Amino acid sequence: MISGSAYAKIRKEARTYALAPDQVASPLAARPYDLRHAAASLWPNAGVHAPEAAEQAGHGVDVMLRVYAKCIDGQRDVANQRIMDALVA
C-alpha cells in the first residue's frame, strides 16, 4: 500500500519529467481525474459517438452530452457535410 501523501509526492515529481515546464506550472493533469476528463473530452472531438464514448468513460449518455459536449470544437463543417450527404442519399 502507498499512502495518499506518498502517491501525491511521486505524481507531482513525475509531472516534472513528463511535461514541459510551462505545462507543469499549469493545471494540466494536476489530478489523476484530469486525465480521464481529458480522454472523455477528446473522444467526441475525434468523432466517437456519444453512447460509445459514454461507455468507455463509464458515464451515462446524458452525462456525456451534458458535461463533454461543450468540449466539441471544429466539427461544424463535418456535421454539415454529413447532413447534406444524408439528404442526398
Per-position DSSP letters for 13-59, written without gaps between them: HHHHHHS-HHHHHSSTT-SHHHHHHHHHHHHHHTT--HHHHHHHHT-
64 SS3 class: helix
pLDDT tens by residue, 66-80: 988 787 878 889 889
Provide the grid cell at 12: 507531482
Average of per-residue pLDDT values in the chain: 88
Instruction: Check whether 31 has a pLDDT greater than 90.
Output: no
pLDDT band of residue 38 (cuts 50, 70, 90) is confident
Domain ranges of the chain: 1-28, 31-89
81 SS3 class: helix
pLDDT tens by residue, 44-71: 888 899 999 999 999 999 999 898 878 7
